Amino acid sequence: MTLARPIDSQPAVARRSPNWKWISIAIATIGILGLFGANAHLVYVALRSQPECVAHTKATDGSGSAYSAAKSAC
């Protein structure tokens, strides 16, 4: 009785290497869909959260803060 298999026979269980082309395409697709989803969410939040009109005080003597609205939208 021999325990070694003959050279010309196939192994009992053939190991298949993963198909890296399809794995990389799947990862890229998931990443691109994630980017589209994140951008869609940002646009949705920007459109849904319009702030109400806020009154701005304008200091004419120059004592106001360095940053203020150039022109009130109200």
Note the pLDDT of residue 17.
82
Confirm if 50 and 43 have CB atoms less than 8 A apart. Answer: no
Write the pLDDT tens digit of every residue in 1-57: 566 666 665 565 667 788 999 999 999 999 999 999 999 999 999 888 876 766 666
Please state the separation of Cα 27 from the chain's center in Å. Answer: 12
Note the pLDDT of residue 46.
87
Task: Report how far residue 25's alpha carbon sits from residue 29's, in angstroms, rounded to the nearest whole number.
Answer: 6
pTM of the model: 0.50
